[in-house]
């Protein structure tokens, strides 16, 4: 293993926006460790690895379990002999009226989206501290910035992610570890396919988006890479919306779920 090549850990890197981030990092000559609870992610890692001269390796773990989070980062470090970047892209979403949210759903969403991100940050900290530097990007959401119907659990978890980002950025700045987040808006992914195919719902979204279009996964990946890179060396503790201007608009126009 060439120890001069940077190594990135991407949770949830086998699908959706996480996969786009992995593809961008590979293109920038970075080895990638994909962390996912599903063994199926291993097939994606093998596919990406076969198409690149940089290594893409799958490591199975449930990031909402602290011991598993610590253990998987240890295995990654033992394999690659360094950890430079972390992208917390793993996440789930549930929808239900606030008064009817099931305790199991609330706990599951918070565990994966918020607690899992925090555990992974804790897990990479000693390895980044050892070399006096590293960069972390957490995935927030535009729903961390305003209220919405039927999305209490998801919005709460992502709001917490933004606070974790700010707290760690302040506390770890002395170790030259930067921590930022991104808040994607409506992006063309399998998760948003229902919106893009439904002309009525699509128009509701576009009417509130100044750029009048959905974003592309590669546009999110580009911002994530910028925040990880030395080009953003004086940027820490910030959240960057990637939403075509939606959050800059009139709050009264924010679309309900």
Q: How confident is the model over 54-83, as pLDDT tens digits?
A: 999 999 999 999 999 999 999 999 999 999
Per-residue burial over 102-126, b if 16 or more Cβ lie within 10 Å, else e, is eeebbebbbbbbbbbbbbbbebbbe
| Count of positions (residues) in the chain | 257
Q: State the average pLDDT over residues 39-65.
A: 95
State yes or no: pLDDT of 191 exceeds 90. Answer: no
With both helix axes pointing from N to C terminus, report the angle between 116-130 and 152-172 in degrees, rounded to the nearest 10: 20
What pLDDT score was predicted for residue 189?
82
Query: Closest Cα to residue 66, out of 120, 128, 136?
Result: 120
Q: Which domains does the chain have, with CATH numbers?
A: 7-253 (3.40.50.720)
Task: Please identify every residue annotated as catalytic.
Answer: 154
**What CA–CA distance (Å, rounded) separates 18 from 111?**
18
Q: Mean pLDDT lowest for which of 53-62, 83-92, 146-155, 227-236?
A: 146-155
Query: Closest Cα to residue 129, out of 170, 163, 161, 174?
Result: 174
């Amino acid at each position: 293993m060439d120890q001069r090549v940077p190594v990135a850990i991407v949770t949830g890197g086998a699908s959706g926006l996480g996969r786009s981030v992995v593809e961008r990092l590979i293109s920038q000559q970075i080895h990638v460790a994909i962390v996912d609870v599903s063994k199926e992610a291993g097939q994606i890692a093998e596919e990406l690895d076969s198409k690149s001269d940089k290594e893409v390796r799958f490591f199975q773990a449930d990031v909402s379990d602290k011991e598993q989070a610590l253990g998987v980062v240890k295995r990654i470090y033992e394999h690659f002999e360094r950890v430079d970047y972390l992208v917390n892209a793993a996440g789930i979403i549930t929808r239900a009226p606030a008064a009817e949210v099931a305790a199991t759903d609330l706990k599951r969403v918070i565990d994966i989206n918020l607690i899992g991100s925090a555990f992974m940050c804790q897990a990479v900290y000693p390895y980044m501290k050892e070399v006096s530097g590293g960069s972390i990007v957490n995935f927030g959401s535009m729903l961390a910035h305003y209220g919405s119907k039927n999305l209490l659990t998801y919005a709460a978890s992502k709001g917490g992610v933004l606070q974790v980002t700010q707290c760690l950025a302040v506390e770890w700045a002395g170790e030259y570890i930067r921590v930022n987040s991104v808040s994607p808006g409506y992006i063309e992914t399998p998760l948003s396919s229902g919106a893009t195919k439904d002309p009525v719902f699509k128009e509701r979204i576009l009417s509130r988006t100044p750029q009048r279009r959905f974003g592309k996964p590669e546009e999110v990946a580009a911002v994530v890479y910028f925040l990880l890179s030395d080009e953003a060396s004086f940027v820490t503790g910030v959240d960057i919306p990637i939403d075509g201007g939606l959050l800059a608009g009139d709050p009264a126009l924010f679309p309900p779920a």
